[in-house]
Amino acid sequence: MINETIQETIDYLNSVANTNHKVENQTINALFQLMKEGYCFEDFKLVIDKKHSDWKGTIYEPYLRPKTLFGNKFIKYLYEQPRVTKNGLFKLASAVNQAKQFTWKLDNN
């Protein structure tokens, strides 16, 4: 179960960040320690998703790696509020522009 969770976590990170990280001793130890403290795959996945959203396309993108994500700042990353990122603003602006293409009317009848 523990080995499966570790492998699933690294596989998920690789699929989200388009990377090719391997399961190494340092990663095993970090994730094992976090699991002993009660954290699970869903927590690891949430951190991966948050930091990918924050760091994709920035100078921090190379830090989308196990050593950084599951290191001493893991708990901070897990509980921090989502930020509005450049990518998020671009998606929001695109949605607003797409919505402007439609004429919205309220019918008071």
- pTM to 2 decimal places: 0.75
DSSP string, 26-90: HHHHHHHHHHHTT--HHHHHHHHHHHHHHHTTSTTGGG-SHHHHTSTTHHHHHHSPPP--HHHHH
What confidence tens digit (pLDDT) does each residue in 29-78 have? 999 999 999 999 999 999 999 999 999 999 999 999 999 999 999 999 99
Q: Report domain extents, the chain.
A: 2-100
Q: Express each pLDDT in 44-57 by its tens digit.
A: 999 999 999 999 99
